[in-house]
Amino acid sequence: MTRLAISIRAPERPAPSAVLELLKPITWFAPMWAFGCGVVSSGGDILGRFWLVAAGLLLAGPLLCATSQAVNDWFDRHVDALNEPGRPIPSGRMPGLWGLYVAIIWSGLSLLVAAMLGPWVLGAALIGLALAWAYSAPPFRLKQNGWFGNAAVGLCYEGLPWFTGAAVMAAAMPDWRVVWLALLFSIGAHGIMTLNDFKSVGGDRRMGVGSLPVRLGVAAATRLACLVMAVPQLVVICLLLAWGRPVHAAIVAALLVGQVVLMAVLLFPLRKLLERPRQRAALYNATGTSLFVLAMLASAFAVRPIQVPA
């Protein structure tokens, strides 16, 4: 009786380490980098707005991105019980409804910080949170469709954080060139997400998840991913030339050439890719994607307003 009374008064709670694992810090880099590109592209005084920049980075990674990870783990808990039983929720380290509680609490914290950073940031955060929940939660479950799911992730990981970084610095709607760059690199990120899906092709087939490698086959999905990554960067190069930024255009072009070389070595020939799709796609994501994000930064510097001394 005493033990029962104690358990009622002191319900089990997750350890901080389990909460941190649920929020997956390793995934925070991409949106934080994109936010940084937005800050750079704005041309604002970073040191003078240091606390705003710090709050924006907190919003992009440890709040919004972390929220999406918690939401995804909660609604995938039954799948993870089969494929990744060591995850916090199926392992029992995140007991009861705590996984859902964390997702809701982090959503609220994200909106609170976004509201403090201004209406444009709040609007972007609302869109990001809506996509994060729609990606994993029924009835939408965008992740069930590789076309829609990857588009949502690309926008949340690249476009919205970039827009947010520029909006934080400008306290207004960012320059339209910034918006174009954010959108184009979001489209390119769709291809990165397709390659990322290679790691779970077998499980996706068994669970009925319509990722693009499942829908199209690994070979066709590889060709599509490479095109989706490369074509937006070609458009970026053309835009930079049209905007009178030939040096930056040349840098992005060189980085794109490097990506194409890595595609040729790691993703084509397709015979080797089909033998080891998970390993080769992961190797490309560790190398070619690094060049992709450097192209983002070069483009951000290209549209940065030139500061004229007083």
Q: What percent of the chain has pLDDT over 90?
A: 76
User: 125, 150, 173 — which closes off a domain?
Assistant: 173
User: 157, 173, 189 — which closes off a domain?
Assistant: 173
pLDDT in tens, 180-196: 999 999 999 999 999 99
- pLDDT, residue 306, reads 60
- pLDDT, residue 9, reads 45
Sign of the dihedral through C-alpha 188, 190, 67, 182: positive
Same domain? For 161 and 180 the reply is no
- Across the chain, what does the average pLDDT equal? 91
- pLDDT, residue 2, reads 46
Please report whether residue 6 resides in a domain. no
Same domain? For 165 and 199 the reply is no
- pLDDT, residue 33, reads 97
Contact 203, 85 (CB under 8 A): no
pLDDT in tens, 8-60: 444 588 999 999 999 999 999 999 999 999 999 998 888 888 999 999 999 99
Same domain? For 139 and 258 the reply is no
Confidence band for 204, pLDDT divided at 50, 70 and 90: confident
Full-model pTM? 0.91
Contact 182, 157 (CB under 8 A): no
Q: What is the mean pLDDT of residues 127-134?
A: 97
Confidence band for 199, pLDDT divided at 50, 70 and 90: confident
Pick from 169, 156, 170, 183: which is nearest to 299 by CA? 183
Confidence band for 307, pLDDT divided at 50, 70 and 90: low
Task: Give the structural domain span for 194.
Answer: 175-305
Give the length of the chain.
310
Please report whether residue 8 resides in a domain. no
Question: In sequence order, what E strands does 5-85 have?
Answer: none
Pick from 116, 125, 118: which is nearest to 31 by CA? 125
Please report whether residue 60 resides in a domain. yes
- pLDDT, residue 88, reads 95
- pLDDT, residue 167, reads 94
How many angstroms separate the CA atoms of 237 and 235, rounded? 5
pLDDT in tens, 136-164: 999 999 999 999 999 999 999 999 999 99
Confidence band for 121, pLDDT divided at 50, 70 and 90: very high
- pLDDT, residue 220, reads 94
Same domain? For 103 and 140 the reply is yes
- pLDDT, residue 1, reads 44
Same domain? For 88 and 129 the reply is yes
- Angle formed by the axes of helices 119-136 and 66-75, to 10°? 20
Same domain? For 27 and 123 the reply is yes
Same domain? For 47 and 153 the reply is yes
Q: What is the mean pLDDT of residues 210-219?
A: 92
Pick from 138, 65, 60, 157: which is nearest to 103 by CA? 65
Q: What is the number of domains present in the chain?
A: 2
Pick from 134, 174, 179, 135: which is nearest to 158 by CA? 179
